[in-house]
Structure 1
C-alpha cells in the first residue's frame, strides 16, 4: 500500500483468538521500518484487530504467517446472538428481501433448512470476479444474479435471517480455494450450535481457519482506513494444509469450523 496522507487504519488478517497456533508472525512496516501496532481483542467473537495511527506517507507493507493446528471453534449460540444476527445490517438488507425469502425458500428450519438456502444461492447466483462493488448488499446480489464470496454470503444470510434463522459472516483462510484469496462463508444457528455453509462451494469447509466473525463484511474487513489517504497495491494470500491432502466436501451436510 502507498500512504499519501497520514493514515489511521485497522487490519484484520490474523487468525481468531480461538485458533490454536504453533507459529505466528505479524509485521507492519513503513519504508522498511517496523511500526508500533495496537492489538485489540473482540472478546465476544475472538477477532483480533491491529490498529496503526499517524502513519506517514510512504510504502506500507503488512505481512502475516501462521501455522494453525485447528480452525477456531465457535462458542455456543447466545441469547444476544439470536437478537443481533437476525436483524438487518449494512450489507444484509433483509427488509428488502422478506417477500423474496418467502417465495424462494419458504418455511425452513434446522440444518436442512440452512443447507437448502445455501443450495438455492449456489444454484441461482454466478461467481464472477469483479462483478460487484464494495457498496453492494444482498438485494443488489439478488437482482444482479452474480457476485463473489462475500456477495454469496450476504444473500444467504439475508434469506436465513428473513426466515428467522440467525446467521453471520465468517472471514477465513481457505486451503484449496480457487482463485486463492481471503474467503467468506456463513455460520447459521442450529439449536445452540453454529454450523457453516459455503454457497460458493469453492473450498472444503473442514479446513477453514477463522479470522473474524460478524454481522457482515463491514464487521470483518481485512483493512479499514479510518482517516488519511492510501492507495492499495498488491495482495498475496496463500493457505495450505501441511502434510496432508485436502478433505473432500460435497456440501450436502453441515460442518462446524474447528
Structure 2
C-alpha cells in the first residue's frame, strides 16, 4: 500500500535552541523515498539522527534565533518491520506512566471488564472508550491524562489512546502509545493510537474510529505522549507559527472500511 506522508512546521525561535523532532517514519517502515530539511533563509541545518529501542527516529539540532522552516516528505510502500519485543518491554508497558495512570483507574477497570481477557478485553475496552468519550478538538490540554479524560468524557486522539492504555494496563495487558501518519484522517494531523500486546504481537486500538488502522505509518512509540512528542526543545523560546500534516494512499482503489473489530498491526 503506497502512502505519501508530509509534515511542514514553521517555527519562530527566540534564541539559540536545542530542538528535538519526531516527525519521520520510524525505523522499520518501508520508506523508498524520503527528504527532511531544516532551513533558516539560505542556511541549511544538518540534524543528528538518534534511534530509540522501539525504532522511533529523533532528529536533534541547535538552531539560531529567527524563523525555522522544517519540511518532511516520504513515500512508504509495503509492510513494516517491527522491532522485537523483549520481556523488559512488556514489563514497562504494564506499569503506570505520566499520562496513563493505570493504578488510578484500576478499580473501575476491574469492575467494568471483570472476567474479560484477550480479544474480548480488547473489544470491550475499545468499545467503552469509543462510546463514552466525545472527540472535541480545542478542548484538550497537553497536561490532560487518562484520568482527566475518564472524568470529562472528552478529548482528542491522544486522550483516547491514553485512556485505552491505562484501562488495558489495569487489566494486566501490556499497552503502549504510537504516534502515526494516518491517511484519510479528518481533521488531518499527527494521529495517536494505542497498541496492545496479545499472543506475541502488537495490535492497534483506535477508539476514535477516525482512521483506517491498515494504512497507518508509525512515527514514534512509547509509554505515552511524553515519549512521542513531535517537537521538544530546551534553552529558549519556540513558537509554532504554522503546522501542516498530510497523509494519503496513492494509486490504490478504495477498500472496505475498517470495522475496528479485526485485529490489525501497524503496517
Question: In which range does the TM-score fall when normalised by the shorter chain?
Answer: over 0.9
Please state if 1:103 is matched with 2:111.
Answer: yes
Of 3, 15, 18, which aligns to 1:5? 15
Structure 1 residues 179 and 23: alpha-carbon distance in aligned structure 2, compared to 1, 3 A threshold: same
Instruction: Kindly indicate whether residue 69 of structure 2 is the aligned counterpart of residue 69 of structure 1.
Output: no
Tell me if the contact between 2:15 and 2:66 (Cα under 8 Å) persists in the aligned partners.
no
- Tell me how far apart the structure 2 counterparts of residues 71 and 202 of structure 1 sit (CA, whole Å): 21
1:34-45 mapped onto 2 (5 Å cutoff): 34-42=44-52, 44-45=53-54
Residues matched between the structures, number: 256
* Counterpart pick for 2:43 among 33, 51, 60: 33
Give unmatched runs, 5+ long, in structure 1: none
TM-aligned CA distance change 1:190 to 1:143, over 3 Å:
same
Does residue 20 of structure 1 match 2:20?
no
Q: Which segment drifts farther, 146-155 or 86-95?
A: 86-95
Q: What is aligned with 1:160?
A: 168
Q: What is aligned with 1:251?
A: 260
How far did residue 197 of structure 1 move? 1.3
Segments ≥4 residues shifted beyond 4 Å: none
Q: Which moved more, 1:197-206 or 1:71-80?
A: 71-80
Per-residue deviation, 1:49 = 0.5
CA distance in 1: counterparts of 2:49 and 2:210, whole angstroms: 32
Give the SS at the match of 1:34: strand
Does residue 125 of the first structure (1) align with residue 133 of the second (2)? yes
Bigger mean CA offset, 146-155 vs 224-233:
224-233
Pairs within 5 Å for 1:85-234: 85-234=93-242
Instruction: Report how far residue 246 of structure 1 moved.
Output: 4.5
Deviation at 1:31, TM superposition (A): 2.9
**Which segments of 5 or more consecutive residues in structure 2 lack a partner in the other structure?**
1-10
**Post-superposition offset of 1:104:** 2.2
Once the 2 structures are TM-superposed, how far is the Cα of residue 91 of structure 1 from its aligned partner? 0.7
* Alpha-carbon separation, structure 2, partners of 1:62 and 1:176: 23
CA contact (8 A) 1:24 1:67 kept: yes
Are the structure 2 counterparts of residues 252 and 144 from structure 1 closer, same or farther at C-alpha, using a change threshold of 3 Å? same
Q: Structure 1 stretch 88-97 or stretch 10-19: which is displaced more?
A: 88-97
CA RMSD of aligned residues (A): 1.2
Look up the SS of the partner of 2:15 in the other structure.
strand
Deviation of the 1:76 alpha carbon? 4.3
